[in-house]
């Protein structure tokens, strides 16, 4: 069983790493991946061994919660909890600052120590009373979660904040109530109330800004969810009733009025209308939907109205699967993120050790007289070394990149694909449906008669089962025009491997290949027929050299027309190939079609590397041969007959309109017929990875510089000690800056 579950109350990357490690260690859990940026966990479990209820209890014991209700209910519940937590965080941040600012002002304007004779200072008492609510009420979540983590012998950001602020507050309280203890030893009893409250206030402010910014990283998911309507009209008991969409059952008749969003997937049973399917296909022109045609959830009905029978509801609709795929992709981990997770998991314990070493070194070098310097440095190390920026660096960039790709009809199944496609130097393209339209159409024709009887050809092709019949029928219908002739065949015959014959108006009409033509015309030809035949053969040779399929049409012993059909190259293919070449990518065409057709298509698209007549195993071997040459290979195909090659490629890309099969077999699905989205996906990959590297660089540099400065490395040089309050502000800024940097990609 594979599903994404919301996880609430996580406050840092360390929390996410702890939840992931704990869940991964549970019996029956095959895979666990926690996404801190999205507050969710992707779980793959064996339902025979464990249950969501059991895993939720384990998560709750850690001080968090996992929502296991049905997806629609879970989403609503998560949104409600997040909204409540956001309001609470906003309130706590506001009140923390209301109490902290007076503490800060009083500390700056007046002396922070007691009188020399050891009496209790009223100023310090006031500072203590103002500081207490900040720690006990507005910042109590840090202490609650930190305590629960300690009970499980774990540590996270809450541990660092709780330790640093409690040490500063408790020492200040002791110095306020018993100042003589230090005075008797010849030391000034310093108080650090402003450091304690400002740490809490800055961390709360950072979390508040971070949560607000993180909300924008999930905007693409929210927009996709917004495509589906909340209510729908169905026919129950012979009456039209309006019900919530999630209560629609398979088999129910749904009524769609002009302008309505279609609520679920189904098949039209009555009426017709044009439907805007741009959210699925990217095509701006409405598609005519008649009886028997499929309609998809989230698409928009235009001016007509119709009824349809629901056949896929809830999580089974194409839209729901797209949303789930984007969620899973955003929750999956890129290879670089796994390295970061390992660093984050040992980061907090390492910081605790560094803080203790800092305290010990200061006391060893300076003795008791440097006790307060030692304490300030140790507390600053605890505060500045929050791993939040490190933990947010990769997932926020991935969420924005994958979300933006989804908006542009590029579905990325795995974050690894988004990271890996930037390194691709070779792309292998299937021909049919990838470079070409995927269905044949008439491209050339020559008529040898003023009245060629095309309406008869249309009747012949209506009855034919040949793959080219539909293309010929469409062409014939477009050329018939207004005709008074009522065309009814009195006989019809399909000749396997040759073509079709039929009788109309007492004459025998035929359409097929050159063998059927020679059979119907015969070897003896009059002079006029010889001229037509010679012209037909010349055209046939020319068109066949371009990879076109030839159809001959005639009546009795006469040739009336020669028609060429082919699977036409898409308008976007040549431009896409040209763009990928400019990006330094080598393009290969791989097809099971004949050499002439393959080379003709390759020439039109601008591809020089062609392998034709390939069986599925040949395609796989071709990809392997490229990899053996040290190439990083992406394969783009239809996801079915290219499955072996797709599985072997470094990155597999399915072309099409987001069918179930295509989405299942590929790492990435281009949901429209526009091949230009392939270089766009590469651009997005490069942009996302560039962001990840920027984020990680600043997160590492921040800690690399911040921790030594906090430990007092600059004190012997210029007497600089980092105030814990400044450390808290820097820590908050680092997390917010990483999220804001990731959001730049969404605005490009």
Give catalytic residue positions: 430
Asked if 562 and 550 count as a contact pair (C-beta separation under 8 A), the reply is yes
* Cα–Cα distance, 367 to 268 (Å, whole number): 85
Q: What is the DSSP letter of 261?
A: B
List 555's β-bridge partners, or say none: 509, 558
* Cα–Cα distance, 745 to 748 (Å, whole number): 5
Asked if 204 and 226 count as a contact pair (C-beta separation under 8 A), the reply is no
Asked if 211 and 87 count as a contact pair (C-beta separation under 8 A), the reply is no
Cβ–Cβ contacts within 10 Å for residue 46, how many?
Answer: 11
Q: What is the CA radius of gyration of the chain?
A: 36
Asked if 651 and 626 count as a contact pair (C-beta separation under 8 A), the reply is no
Crossing angle for the helix pair 219-226 and 388-407, to the nearest 10 degrees: 40
Kindly give the residue spans of alpha helices, DSSP state H, lying in 218-253. Answer: 219-226
List 494's β-bridge partners, or say none: 500
Q: How many CA atoms lie within 13 A of 573 on its CB side?
A: 26
Asked if 719 and 370 count as a contact pair (C-beta separation under 8 A), the reply is no
Q: How many CA atoms lie within 13 A of 17 on its CB side?
A: 24
| Phi and psi based region of residue 658 (left: phi greater than 0; alpha: psi -120 to 50; beta: remaining) | left
Q: Which residues contact 75 (CB under 8 A, 6 or more apart)?
A: 6, 225
Q: Which residues of 63-149 form beta strands (DSSP E)?
A: 65-66
Strand 231-236 versus strand 253-256 pairing type? antiparallel
* Cα–Cα distance, 62 to 154 (Å, whole number): 10
Run of H or E including 403: helix 388-407
* Cα–Cα distance, 434 to 346 (Å, whole number): 47
Nearest alpha carbon to residue 224 among 668, 658, 662: 658
Residue pointed to by tokens 């080219």 = 468
Long-range pairs, 218-224, Cβ under 8 A, ≥24: 218/38, 218/330, 218/399, 218/403, 219/403, 219/746, 220/326, 220/402, 220/403, 220/404, 220/406, 220/407, 221/323, 221/326, 221/327, 221/330, 221/403, 223/407, 224/319, 224/322, 224/323, 224/326, 224/406
* Exposed e or buried b per residue across 598-620, where buried means at least 16 C-beta atoms within 10 angstroms of its C-beta: bbbbbebbebeebbbebeeeebb
| DSSP 3-state of 165 | helix
Long-range pairs, 487-494, Cβ under 8 A, ≥24: 487/455, 487/456, 487/458, 487/459, 488/459, 489/456, 489/459, 489/460, 489/463, 492/460, 492/463, 494/463, 494/464, 494/465
* Cα–Cα distance, 226 to 247 (Å, whole number): 18
């Amino acid at each position: 069983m594979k599903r994404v579950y919301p996880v609430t109350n996580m406050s840092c990357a360390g929390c996410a790493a702890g939840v992931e490690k704990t869940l991964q260690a549970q019996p029956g859990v095959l895979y666990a991946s926690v996404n801190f940026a999205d507050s969710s966990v992707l779980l793959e479990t064996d339902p025979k061994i464990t249950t969501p209820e059991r895993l939720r209890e384990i998560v709750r014991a850690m001080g968090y919660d996992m929502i296991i209700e049905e997806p629609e209910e879970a989403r609503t519940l998560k949104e409600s909890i997040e909204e409540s937590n956001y309001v609470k965080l906003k309130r706590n941040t506001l009140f923390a600052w209301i109490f902290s600012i007076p503490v800060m002002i009083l500390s700056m304007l007046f002396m922070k120590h007691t009188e020399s004779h050891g009496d209790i200072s009223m100023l310090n008492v006031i500072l203590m009373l103002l500081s207490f609510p900040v720690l006990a009420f507005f910042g109590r979540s840090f202490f609650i979660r930190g305590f629960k983590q300690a009970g499980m012998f774990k540590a996270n950001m809450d541990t660092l904040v709780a330790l640093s602020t409690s040490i500063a507050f408790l020492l200040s309280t002791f110095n306020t109530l018993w100042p003589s203890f230090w005075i008797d030893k010849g030391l000034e009893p310093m108080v650090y109330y402003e450091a304690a409250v400002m740490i809490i206030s800055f961390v709360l402010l950072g979390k508040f800004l971070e949560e607000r910014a993180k909300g924008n990283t999930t905007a693409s998911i929210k927009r996709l969810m917004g495509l589906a309507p909340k209510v729908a009209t169905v026919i129950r008991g012979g009456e039209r009733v309006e019900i919530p969409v999630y209560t629609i059952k398979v088999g129910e008749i749904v009524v769609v009025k002009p302008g309505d969003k279609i609520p679920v997937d189904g098949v039209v049973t009555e009426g017709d209308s044009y439907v805007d399917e741009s959210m699925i296909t990217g095509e701006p022109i409405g598609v005519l939907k008649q009886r028997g045609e499929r309609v998809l959830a989230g698409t928009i009905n235009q001016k007509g109205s119709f009824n349809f029978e629901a056949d896929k509801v809830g999580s089974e609709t194409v839209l729901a699967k797209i949303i789930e795929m984007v969620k899973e992709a955003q929750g999956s981990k890129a290879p670089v993120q796994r390295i970061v997770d390992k660093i984050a998991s040992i980061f907090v314990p390492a910081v605790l050790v560094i803080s203790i070493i800092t305290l010990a070194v200061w006391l060893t070098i300076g003795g008791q007289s440097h006790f307060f310097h030692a304490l300030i440095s140790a507390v600053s190390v605890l505060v500045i070394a929050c791993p939040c920026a490190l933990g947010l660096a990769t997932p926020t960039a991935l969420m924005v990149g994958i979300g933006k790709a989804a908006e542009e009809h590029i579905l990325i199944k795995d974050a690894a694909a988004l990271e890996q496609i930037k390194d691709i130097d070779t792309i292998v393209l299937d021909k049919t449906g990838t470079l070409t339209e995927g269905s044949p159409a008439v491209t050339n024709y020559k008529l040898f008669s003023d009245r060629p009887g095309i309406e008869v050809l249309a009747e012949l092709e209506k009855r034919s089962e040949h793959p080219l019949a539909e293309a010929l029928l469409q062409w014939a219908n477009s050329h018939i025009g207004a005709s008074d002739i009522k065309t009814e065949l009195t006989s019809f015959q399909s000749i396997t491997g040759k073509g079709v014959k039929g009788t109309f108006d007492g004459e025998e009409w035929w359409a097929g290949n050159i063998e059927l033509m020679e059979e119907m015309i015969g070897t003896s030809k009059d002079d006029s027929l010889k001229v037509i035949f010679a012209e037909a053969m010349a055209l046939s040779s020319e068109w066949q050299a371009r990879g076109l399929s030839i159809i001959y049409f005639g009546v009795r012993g006469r040739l009336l027309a020669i028609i060429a059909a082919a699977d036409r190259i898409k308008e976007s293919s040549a431009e896409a190939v040209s763009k990928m070449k400019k990006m330094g990518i080598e393009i290969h065409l791989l097809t099971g079609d004949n050499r002439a057709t393959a080379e003709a298509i390759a020439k039109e698209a601008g591809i020089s590397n062609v392998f034709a007549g390939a069986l599925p195993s040949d395609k796989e071997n071709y990809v392997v041969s490229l990899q053996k040459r040290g190439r990083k290979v992406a394969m783009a195909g239809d996801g079915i007959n290219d499955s072996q090659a797709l599985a072997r490629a470094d990155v597999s890309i399915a072309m099409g309109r987001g069918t179930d099969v295509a989405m299942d077999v590929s790492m990435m699905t281009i949901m429209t017929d526009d091949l230009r989205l392939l270089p766009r996906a590469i651009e997005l990959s490069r942009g996302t990875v560039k962001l990840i590297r920027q984020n990680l660089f600043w997160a590492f540099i921040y800690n690399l510089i911040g921790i030594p400065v906090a430990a007092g490395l600059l004190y012997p040089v210029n007497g600089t000690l980092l105030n814990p309050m400044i450390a808290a502000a820097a820590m908050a800024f680092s997390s917010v800056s990483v999220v804001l940097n990731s959001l730049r990609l969404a605005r490009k």
